[in-house]
Every structure is written in C-alpha cells, then in structure tokens.
C-alpha cells in the first residue's frame, strides 16, 4: 500500500471518531455535552428537578429544553427528542432547541430530520456556530464535502477561538489528500489546545514529503 493511501485511510478513521464526538461537543450551556460519571449523577438530579418544574408550569419552554439536555446526556435519546420537540411546540422560533433536537436525531442516525432541524435553526439564528459544525458532520457522512467545508468555514468565522472546526476542516482536507490546505487548520487547532491536532499535523507533514 502506498504511504499516501495509508495516510488517507488513517485520517479517515480519525475523522469518523472526531465527527462522532462533534455531535455532542457543544459550546454553550444550553446544548448537549459529553457525559462524565459525575455529570451523570447531576443529570439524573436535573431530570427530577425539571420534571417537578414542568409539572408546576407545563408551558416552561426552557425547562423542557434543559430536561432534554439531561436526557441526552443520559443517552435517553427518544425522551430528549420528545422534550426538545415540546420546547419547539411552545416556542417555534427557539433556534437552540432545533439544534439540540438535530444533534439527538443525528446521534440516533436519523439524518434527514437532523439536517431539517439544523437548517431551521440556521434560518432562525444564523449565528450559532455549533449548528454549522453539526451539519458539517452530516454533510461529510453523505459525501457532500464542499458543503461540509463551507459549514466548517462558517463555524470558524462565527467562533474563531473554537478549536473543533479547525481540526475537522484540517482532517477533511487531509482526507481529500489536500495536505497543504489541511496543515494550517491542524496547526491552528493545536495552537488552540487540541493535542491530537498536533499529532495529525505531523502525519500530514510526513505525507507531504512523500506525496
């Protein structure tokens, strides 16, 4: 196997892992986050407290959204989707709830509904960087690489200090064997604190010497 082909396969496998984590690597307190053991207990408690809050006020939009986040972190995705849907029903212009539900749909492999929710969220609030990052993941999965790159560039424009879009875009270019395009984004991601980006940049630099 040629070295450049091996590099593409390696980058592709890393990309899949990174994109999977991007689905839950959200930058605000109103969005799903990767669960930890300590967070699991907090989310269980949150579900209890928010359920009581909803019982007292069944029109509390943010309570449904927050309980949806807790359910998501507990990997109870159908309940999360139901709560995000209720938040949307109560406030049809709540962009973050569409993004959150889109992430839940994507996590359960419901690609079409996920894209529809991301699109609607962007219509309502085009300033949510994470929505573009999450939609980019879907576009990558279905082979729409130009749209994937465009969304990643938009995410970078909206939040230039977030490392994940740089890393993902760098891996996208590397996967396409566009190593010179990939390297600056990987180096930027490393500068922003992602140690894995430095390792991938080293692989890309080695590929550039033999490509």
* pLDDT tens for each residue of 191-204: 999 999 899 999 88
Is 34 a residue whose pLDDT tops 70?
Answer: no
| CB distance 118 to 102 below 8 Å | yes
Average model confidence (pLDDT) across the chain: 85
Is 32 a residue whose pLDDT tops 80?
Answer: no
Coil/strand/helix, residue 124: helix
Q: pLDDT band at residue 208, thresholds of 50, 70 and 90?
A: confident
- Identify the pLDDT of residue 26: 34
Domains and their CATH numbers in the chain:
3-26+36-210 (1.25.40.10)
Task: State the DSSP H helix or E strand holding residue 198, giving kind and residue range, or none if neither.
Answer: helix 195-210
Is 209 a residue whose pLDDT tops 90?
Answer: no
E-only strand ranges, the chain:
none
pLDDT over 90 percentage in the chain: 71
Is 151 a residue whose pLDDT tops 50?
Answer: yes
| CB distance 43 to 51 below 8 Å | no
Q: Cβ neighbours of residue 6 under 8 Å, at least 6 residues apart? A: none
Is 96 a residue whose pLDDT tops 70?
Answer: yes
pTM: 0.81
Helix residue spans in the chain (DSSP H): 3-22, 37-56, 61-73, 77-90, 95-107, 111-124, 129-141, 145-158, 163-175, 179-191, 195-210
Q: pLDDT band at residue 25, thresholds of 50, 70 and 90?
A: very low
């Amino acid at each position: 196997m040629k070295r450049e082909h091996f590099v593409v396969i390696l980058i592709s496998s890393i990309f899949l892992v990174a994109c999977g984590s991007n689905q839950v690597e959200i930058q605000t307190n109103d969005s799903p986050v990767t669960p930890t053991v300590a967070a699991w207990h907090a989310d269980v408690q949150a579900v209890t407290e928010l359920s009581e809050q909803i019982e007292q006020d069944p029109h509390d939009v943010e309570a449904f959204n927050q309980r949806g986040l807790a359910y998501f972190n507990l990997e109870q995705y159908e309940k999360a989707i139901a709560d995000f849907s209720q938040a949307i029903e109560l406030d049809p212009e709540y962009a973050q709830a569409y993004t959150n539900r889109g992430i839940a749909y994507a996590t359960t492999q419901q690609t079409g509904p996920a894209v529809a929710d991301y699109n609607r969220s962007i219509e309502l609030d085009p300033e949510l960087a994470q929505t573009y990052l999450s939609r980019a993941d879907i576009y990558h999965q279905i082979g729409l690489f130009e749209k994937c790159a465009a969304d990643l560039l938009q995410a970078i424009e909206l939040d230039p200090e977030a490392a994940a879009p740089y890393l993902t875009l760098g891996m996208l270019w590397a996967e396409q064997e566009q190593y010179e395009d990939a390297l600056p984004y990987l180096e930027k991601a490393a500068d922003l604190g992602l140690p894995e980006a430095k390792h991938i940049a080293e692989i890309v630099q080695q590929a550039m010497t033999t490509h």
